[in-house]
Structure 1
Amino acid sequence: MDVNAQLTDQQRVELAGLEYQPLGVGDHVRLSNGKRVGRVKRAFYKQDGLRGTIIVNHHQDHKEITVLFRGSSGLRHGNPTTWSNEWLATNLPIGRSIVEHRVGEIPSQLRSAASLLNRLMQQDLTAHYYIYGHSLGAINAQYALANCDYPACLSEAWLYEGPNVYWLLNDQQKAQAAVLRNKINNYIDSLDIVTLGYTDLHHAIGRVRYVQSILLDPISQHMWGGYQFDQNGRLYTKPVAEYREKIDRELIEHVSQASSSWHQWRQEQVKKRQELNRWLPYR
């Protein structure tokens, strides 16, 4: 049996969290209980900021391939490149599209994720594929799955704390997401401000699971901090949060303001850089 199929909810969260770790090619990937997931086959990085890790576990008759789509580096720990690729070019535009339920231009990082997953599956159609993503990683994974050309290859996906990308899809992509719905587990902490757009569970990618969480500071909340597990590692969940629609309406204004502020900051930085470049040659 595949290792991924044997994991508890708590172990899957631990595995998803490894997307933020600097895993190197050839590294053995093990969980805290010693369970071996496989070896790192490849760490991918694209110029548009897409990052993640591919882990392979060899079985007698097939390969078990785990794909970890990496989330955002964060405003505190990022650099100018990550701020541009992850926030200005990806997170904020997506946030505005989601809360306003309109299809805008699809960021390059999402398209890269879809292309990567399809190429990976095409290389081995007999492998069992397991997809994980958190935050921006969940965004990329959702879009990649909605564009999956080989749905039979997907065994299951576990996504955490990402906004609802369904509102960015065209009709063909929505139909593909529906085909894979029962294979995608989409976990949402209602207290996490990042989880936008889940006002209607009939318009979402995968089966949405609402986490019965505890209230923490925003960063800890987003990083699985509010998740609670029983003694067997099962995650506590709850029925659909009735206040989601109210929260999303209130967030529309905040997201729009944040996006405007970031664009203004970016324009100021570009202007300063241009002035500096004009000044430097005369030193």
Structure 2
Amino acid sequence: MKKRVFFDELNDKENQKLALQEYYKYKNGDEVKAGNKMFGYVAEPLKNDEDSGMQAYTITPTKGQKLADVKEVTILFRGSTSPAGINSVASAIDFFNDWFKNDLPAAEQVSPLAGGIIGGVEGALSSGPAGIGVGAVNGIRKSEDKSPKAVPPQFTASSKYLKKMMKRYPDAKFNVYGHSLGSMNAQYAAADTDHPNRINKVLAYEGPNIHKILNSKQRETAKGLKDRIFNYVDSKDLVPLGYSTGAAAVGWVIHVFSKKSKKGLGDQHMWGGYQFTASGEVKVEFDDASVKGEVKVRMHDLMSQYRSMSQTGGGLSSGERIYLDAAQATVFAGLIETTAETGITAIKQDIRKGVTSLQDNQEDVKRLSRQLAGHLTEGEISGALAEVGATQYRLVTVPQAKLDHLKTQASQIESDYKQIAKQVKSGVEQLKDSDRQVAGYFSHE
């Protein structure tokens, strides 16, 4: 039997690679990988709900287990079929179901901007150009209306599917993944579950914020599951709507520290802007909620291991305690490294903007002076500016030198933090080399 990677061993990049498998075609019994690591097998082939268009895979750790013996189940909810993906009648039906039955109705309910645009289009289709304004206003009001929302059919189908799988695998904990429309399906299915204690972890990527669509009971369930639902959002992606500052959301909202994809908006949406550290951890924005959310992600898996070890009875062995301490140190070493790199990068970007602004300001001063004193020569203008201290040296050179000094200090801080992280990781590796039992825990042997 091939050795598989356990769910709590996956890093952020491997989790993203596993979520990507929702777009691949698998048959029953096929092996599924998370990156280059074997993760499990397709136990339930692609479920395609013909009425709603919902599609999902169910993955279990091994083949041929009795259903009651399965302890871990992973569900992948598939995202929307793109226009570029239409190559058959079946895919055209998928596109229609995904977008016109689910994506657009959800978008106009969660975002005033989307509601206004969609309402304007509907107004134009029904009443011509004169109907655009009225339609846009109605669309905005629809989004901001506090009354119960219409639940898209795929949300309901996804909830039913999760409940069905929980009944089929009665003793299993569930990990749920979804991207784009699949993210909304994952959020809704978790919030609508009858057994929140059986949800181990939900990883949702690049989907709109569906909190407005939930009823009061579902919102309470989502609130109780907050530390097990992680919602990754790239601000450069146009799809994740409704995550304005302070907006209630399902789970922890983690804003990734993304780059602009050179391949366009489609690639940006398909994780194209995500950046990862050398150890596979995603870089997140340097804001309180995103950093806390990423801490929760990493500590969640460690706590799962702790609970598993504690169930054996008799307390933790010395080797288990050492392992958990070392694993915790590794987690925080990674966080130190990621936070330092992301935070310092943001500071450097601000410094570069500051230098550019200084140079632009100097040019603006010269331009304005030429306009006000067009009868003077360049030399006379420069002399007049120098008399009031508006020189290149005062306006640009000195401030830029100070910013360059700050940049050097920031780079040194980043280097120091990375060195600390490196020393912690090196210490853990030395511990693994000297203690076979501890090394075994790290590899789940």
Q: Which TM-score applies when normalising by structure 1?
A: 0.80
The structure showing larger relative contact order (alpha-carbon pairs under 8 Å, at least 6 residues apart) is 1
* Contact 1:72-1:136 within 8 A present in 2 as well: yes
Who is 2:274 aligned against?
Answer: 227
**1:18-38: CA deviations, max 9, x gaps?**
0000011110112332x2211
How far apart, in 2, do the equivalents of 1:233 and 1:101 lie?
39
Which residue identity does 1:213 align to in structure 2? Answer: S
Range with greater deviation from structure 2 (98-107 or 66-75):
98-107
> Which residue type is aligned with residue 224 of structure 2?
V
Query: Quick check: 1:153 aligned with 2:157?
Result: no
In 1, Cα distance between the equivalents of 2:287 and 2:48?
Answer: 36
SS in 2 for 1:76: helix
Residue type of the alignment partner of 1:111: T
Paired position in structure 2 for 1:140 = 185
Distance 1:184 1:201, change over 3 A: farther
Match of 1:218 in 2: 265
- Alignment CA distance shift 1:2-1:28 (3 Å): closer
Tell me, yes or no, if the aligned pair for 1:49 and 1:85 is still in contact at 8 Å: yes
RMSD over aligned CA atoms reads 2.1
Q: Distance in 2 between matches of 1:149 and 1:161?
A: 26
Q: Aligned match of 2:285 in 222, 234, 238?
A: 238
- Report which of the two structures shows the higher radius of gyration computed on alpha carbons: 2
Structure 2 matches for 1:15-26, cutoff 5 A?
Answer: 15-26=18-29
Amino acid at match of 1:72: S
- Cα shift readout 1:102-125 (whole Å, capped 9, x = no counterpart): 443211111000111012112233
Which residue of the other structure, out of 207, 218, 225, is the alignment partner of 1:162? Answer: 207
SS at match of 1:114: helix
Q: Which has the higher strand share?
A: 1
The answer (yes or no) to whether the contact 2:70–2:169 under 8 Å persists in 1 is no
**3-state secondary structure, aligned to 1:131:** strand
Aligned partner letter, 1:199 = S
Quick one: structure 1 residues 173 and 54, their matched pair in 2 at CA, closer, same or farther if it must change by over 3 Å? same
Alignment partners' CA distance in 1, 2:26 and 2:144: 37
**Shift in Å, 1:202:** 5.5
Write the letter of the residue equivalent to 1:158. Answer: L
The TM-score, its normalising length taken from structure 2, stands at 0.52
Aligned to 1:205: 250
Give yes or no for contact 2:32–2:38 (8 Å, CA) kept in 1.
Answer: yes
Deviations 1:196-253 (A, max 9, x none): 0011456100111000000121101100000000000000001459xxxxxxxxxxxx
Q: Is the 8 A contact 1:2 1:64 kept in 2?
A: no
How many residue pairs are counted as aligned between the two chains?
Answer: 241
Q: Is the 8 A contact 2:223 2:251 kept in 1?
A: yes
Partner Cα separation in structure 2 for residue 57 and residue 101 of structure 1: 44
Q: How many Å separate the matches in 2 of 1:154 and 1:32? A: 23
Q: Residues 55-107 of structure 1, C-alpha deviation per residue, up to 9 Å, x if partnerless?
A: 00149964221100000111221343123201111101110000124443211
**CA distance in structure 1 between the aligned counterparts of 2:12 and 2:267, rounded to whole angstroms:** 19
User: Per residue, is there more helix in 1 or in 2?
Assistant: 2
Partner of 1:69: 77
Contact 2:73 2:173 in 1 (8 A): yes
Identity of aligned residues (%): 34
- Segment drifting more, 111-120 vs 60-69: 60-69
The residue identity in structure 2 corresponding to 1:235 is: V
Whether the 8 Å contact between 2:5 and 2:39 is mirrored in structure 1 is no
Q: How far apart, CA to CA, are the structure 2 residues paired with 1:96 and 1:88?
A: 11
Residue 241 of structure 2 corresponds to which residue in structure 1?
A: 196
The equivalent of 1:114 in structure 2 is 159
One-letter amino acid matched to 1:31: A
User: Among residues 39, 59, 63, which one is paired with 1:55 in the alignment?
Assistant: 59
Native 8 Å contact 1:101 1:167 kept in 2: no
Query: Any idea what the Cα deviations from partners look like across 1:251-275, whole Å, max 9, x if unmatched?
Result: xxxxxxxxxxxxxxxxxxxxxxxxx
Q: Which range is displaced more, 151-160 or 197-206? A: 197-206
> Which residue identity lines up with residue 81 of structure 1 in the other structure?
I
Partner of residue 409, structure 2: none
- Return the alpha-carbon distance in structure 2 between the equivalents of residues 97 and 180 of structure 1: 23
In structure 1, C-alpha distance between the alignment counterparts of 2:56 and 2:177, rounded to whole Å:
10
Residue 237 of structure 1 aligns to a residue whose secondary structure is coil
Q: Which residue of 2 aligns with 1:89?
A: 101
| Distance in structure 2 (CA, Å) of the matches to 1:196 and 1:95 | 7
Opposite residue 228 of structure 1, the aligned amino acid is Q
Moved over 6 A (4+): none
Q: Distance in 1 between matches of 2:144 and 2:165?
A: 31
Local SS of the residue matching 1:199:
coil
Indicate whether 1:40 and 2:42 are aligned: yes
Task: State the alpha-carbon separation in 2 of the partners of residues 11 and 203 from structure 1.
Answer: 28
Any gaps of 5 or more consecutive residues in structure 1? 242-283
